[in-house]
């Protein structure tokens, strides 16, 4: 039986030129992979620094009542959203353990229609104006 398998899938040996080409591709791929990993680390570091700066900018904008800040590199927009606090899994678990007599619809109402505190979320983002490349004559 093993003789049949070996005959069906003959293994070819690459030529020296194909092998060298393959080695070059693998080498280039590993170099690119290393560069991508280093760049991802650099992006993470810059995002951390950007978040720290954003907190200071946001505090300044809130303190002095700025909602829009025009810069040479675009507009910085401060926004405030009011959202309901998220439902936590332990709250659902506690409700299910305490209220074993409720039906499915009653459980749904108890979980999702219950009043939850409203939380304000503040954020800033940069809006870069779009430049049209078409000429309107």
Residue spans of the domains in the chain: they are 15-66, 67-128
Measured distance CA(51)–CA(67) in Å, rounded: 18
Long-range contacts made by residues 103-112, C-beta under 8 angstroms, separation at least 24? 111/87, 112/87
pLDDT tens-digit readout, 91-109: 888 888 888 787 888 888 8
Query: Tell me: the pLDDT tens digits for 4-40?
Result: 555 666 788 989 999 999 999 999 999 999 999 999 9
- pLDDT at position 54: 93
């Amino acid at each position: 039986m093993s003789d049949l398998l070996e005959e069906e899938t003959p293994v070819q040996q690459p030529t020296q030129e194909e092998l060298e080409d393959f080695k070059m591709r693998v080498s280039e791929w590993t170099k690119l992979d290393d560069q991508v990993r280093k760049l991802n680390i650099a992006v993470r570091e810059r995002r951390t620094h950007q978040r720290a700066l954003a907190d200071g900018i946001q505090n300044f904008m809130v303190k002095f009542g700025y909602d829009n800040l025009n810069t040479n590199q675009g507009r910085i927009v401060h926004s405030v959203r009011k959202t309901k606090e998220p439902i936590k899994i332990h709250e659902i678990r506690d409700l299910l353990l305490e209220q074993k007599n409720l039906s499915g619809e009653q459980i749904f109402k108890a979980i999702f229609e219950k009043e939850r505190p409203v939380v304000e979320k503040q954020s800033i983002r940069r809006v870069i104006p779009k430049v049209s490349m078409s000429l309107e004559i």
